[in-house]
A and B are shown apart, each in its own frame.
Chain A
Amino acid sequence: MIRLVAALLIATPFAGLAGWPLTSANSFVQAYVQPSVEAVVWTGDHPTPGLGRWDDDAFFAPRLRLKADASAGSHLFLHVNAALDRGFDPGSRADGETRLDEAILRWRLFEDERLNIQLGKFASFFGGWIPQHDFFDDAFLLAPLPYSQIVGVQTRDPAALSPGAITARSAGRAPAFATLDKQNWASTIWGPNYACGVAAFGSTEHFDYAVEFRNAGLSAHPDSWEELNFANPTVTARLGYRPDASWAFGISGSHGSYVEKGAPLVRFDRGSLERSSAGFDARWSHHSLIISGELIYSTFETLAAGDLETVAWYLQTRWKVAPGFWIAGRFGQILANDASGTGDAGTEWQPDIWRAEAAVGWRITSQLLFKASYAHTEGDAAAGHDLLGFGLGYQF
């Protein structure tokens, strides 16, 4: 059904409705439909660093996106964001798919932003990157390292995460996880994490706050975002403080099961293996410069390898050197503890990884945007090092 709705929404522009504001006679009901096209060409090493997956020298990832906003009065809003592309992660559905990324029904309780309640499928409130993840808002083509790099936690077969298996992988006697199907493994946060659920959030002059209750964990693969099963929910909260417009700080927390659907539940149930995360984000901006970063600590419970812990961070900057033209840079790391082995021995379950990135963006017109992005990753022995992307986006 979700896909049918998405397909209808994708077809809407060709029915002559797209790109236009729509208003009822008394202006009580308003709608705004915004189609766009994003076309990215990726090229680089194999296996691909990050969440992409392809075998050719280059991969063409076009995306037709349709966003629609509607309001009834000043308190009720609907937002829909659908896509037709070759997979949420480049190459994950190379033959193409139609997907509903966001479908939000929001009730604004007051005339200002003090308190909103929304339900549906929506991006997580965790951290500081997600509010700017849209192609036309993000300075880069690739998500920051914690949002785009898998780590050695098996979300669909947690029982396989034994000290023996970790040791075999570490010693090279078993395939490294990055060469395996990436959907079986966790990312610290998987992209914007469009999961389903309910959230309450708001803003005042100095504070932002949000609590969300959703069906899938932050590390869950996109297929799990649509699973309407709230038996093992993930609860996430964020508190942001803005002393003035220049500075923004936030702390986030998330707790819930990381085991995804399809996992063989032999010696455990999904609720018995949980992950917890705590994050700190900060942003400073003034005139043409924005500097922002995040630090995320995560711990994953396992059946036999102890608690697997990661610390992931990144720092990024964007500088507009001319109207519509910017340059950007980013550096990030993922550091991990050792898994519990036999006796007191610790086993490396996750290599330390770092990634350095550079990007340029040129907003040629208010509708047309070109971006180029280069990423160099080190430490992940099973994946390549270099990834280069060129993207062109057009908003109709």
Chain B
Amino acid sequence: MNVAAILLILCLPSAMLAAEPATGGVTGKVPLPARTNSRIAVEKYTGSISGKVGSPPLPKAGVWIEGPGLTPSATPPPIQLSQKDYQFATSMLVVPCGATVIFPNEDPDYHNIFSLSKTKRFDVGRYKTNERPPPRVTFERAGFVRLQCEIHEHMKAAVLVVNSRYFTVTDETGRFTLRGLPPGTYELHAQFDESSKWNMPVTISAGRITEVNLTAPAQ
């Protein structure tokens, strides 16, 4: 092996690293509303709940950035939102435009998930435990979609459909971090429900996490 070959082998990893684009991130806290829209999970009449009702999922907000080149892929992978212990698995699901959400029922009784939101109006009907195939809905348009169960009024969740491939969900305190973002200036968005929305410009720099401060909801 000659010297040129040895130098080539030694330089290859650093050359490959240099070819990989440097990314950054953004972190912050969404001021979640103190009041949540939870409803007491008790059935007035028998026959619709035969097991223990779980605790409602903690309230969370969706966060995403929009800008040139950040639109979602044409075929985003399907995402699952199950119902177990007469509750949705999460209170907030963020999906890119064009994504399909699968709604498996893991309770012994029927669920009937529907939405009458302007963004997406659908009703999957009554479906059983582990019914195959489980009902699925494709969300084409960006917007906020409130989910309800026709049988269990206390069950609430939301699907936030975003026109971006970079999104996340806050924790229950409102904290979030988005990583792997290409450097540039974008619009950062956050949303809790139909009326609680935030947005602000954010500049992403390679190799650093930008701290942002979201305050009062944008109208």
Contact = CB atoms under 8 A, between A and B. Distances in A.
Interface of A: 20-21, 23, 30-32, 69-71, 77, 79, 102, 104, 106, 108, 111-113, 123, 125, 130-131, 201-206, 208, 210, 240, 242, 244-246, 248, 285-288, 290, 320, 322-324, 363-366
Nearest to B44: A79
Interface stretch (B9-17, B62-70, B107-115): B107-115
B129 A245 contact: yes
B39 interface: yes
Interface string B114-128: 111000011101111
B114 A71 contact: no
B109 A245 contact: yes
Contacts of B50: 112-113, 203-206, 208, 242
Contacts of A113: 43, 46, 49-52
Nearest to B110: A245
B185 interface: no
Contacts of B43: 113
Interface of B: 35-40, 42-52, 108-110, 114-116, 121-123, 125-129, 146, 148
**Chain A binding surface, main DSSP class:** strand
B121 A324 contact: yes
A106 B116 contact: no
A112 to B, nearest CB: 4
A354 to B, nearest CB: 28
Contacts of B110: 245-246, 285
A270 B102 CA distance: 59
Contacts of A246: 110, 128
B127 to A, nearest CB: 7
Given A21-B38, A113-B52, A324-B123, 5 more contacts: A203-B47, A288-B126, A323-B122, A365-B116, A366-B148
Contacts of B127: 287
A287 B125 contact: yes
A249 to B, nearest CB: 11
Q: Which of B38, B40, B122, B125 has the most CB of A within 10 A?
A: B40
Nearest to A104: B44
A112 B116 contact: no
B35 A21 contact: yes
A240 B51 CA distance: 15
B46 A131 contact: yes
Q: Which of A79, A111, A203, A240 has the most CB of B within 10 A?
A: A203
Q: Which of A20, A104, A323 has the most CB of B within 10 A?
A: A323
